[in-house]
Amino acid sequence: MKYLLAVDVGATKIHGAILDENLKIIREERMASQESLFGLADVGLQRTKKIVGGLITWAAKSSINISSACIGFPEYVSNDGQLMSRDTIDWRTQPRTDLLELTGFNWVVESDVRCAAMGELSLIDQKSQANFLYILVSSGISHTMINNGLVWAGANGRAIGFFASGLGIAREYQRLSGVSVRGAIEVFQTFNSDPISRNVIRQAAEYLSRGLINLVEVLDPSRIIIGGGLWLGSQNYRELVTDLLPKTINDVLSSASLSNSGLIGAGAIARNSSKIS
- pLDDT tens for each residue of 120-134: 999 998 888 889 999
> What Cα–Cα distance (Å) separates residue 127 from each residue in 28, 146, 191, 197, 243?
27, 10, 39, 40, 31
66 and 39 housed in the same domain:
yes
138 and 231 housed in the same domain:
yes
- Is there a domain that residue 149 lies in? yes
136 and 55 housed in the same domain:
no
66-70, 168-172, 251-255: the lowest-pLDDT one:
168-172
- CATH code, domain carrying 199: 3.30.420.40
φ, ψ of residue 219 to 5 degrees: the values are -95, -25
CA 210 to CA 191: how far, in whole Å? 21
Higher pLDDT, 99 or 160: 99
Number of domains in the chain: 2
130 and 250 housed in the same domain:
yes
Reported confidence tier of residue 17, pLDDT bands at 50, 70, 90 = very high
79 and 164 housed in the same domain:
no
- Is there a domain that residue 55 lies in? yes
Contact status, residue 37 vs residue 182, Cβ threshold 8 Å: yes
pTM for the full predicted model = 0.89
195: burial class by Cβ within 10 Å (0-12, 13-18, 19+)? exposed
- Is there a domain that residue 90 lies in? yes
Q: Give residues with Cβ within 8 angstroms of 220, minimum separation 6.
A: none
Residues of 172-188 as b/e, b for ≥16 C-beta within 10 angstroms?
Answer: bbbeebeeebebbbbbb
140 and 240 housed in the same domain:
yes
- Is there a domain that residue 121 lies in? no
152 and 242 housed in the same domain:
yes
244 and 189 housed in the same domain:
yes
Domain range for 130 is 126-255
Model pLDDT for residues 157-174, shown as the tens digit of each residue: 765 555 456 778 888 898
Reported confidence tier of residue 119, pLDDT bands at 50, 70, 90 = very high
Nearest to 35 by CA among 171, 189, 182, 187: 182
pLDDT of 159 reads 59
132 and 152 housed in the same domain:
yes
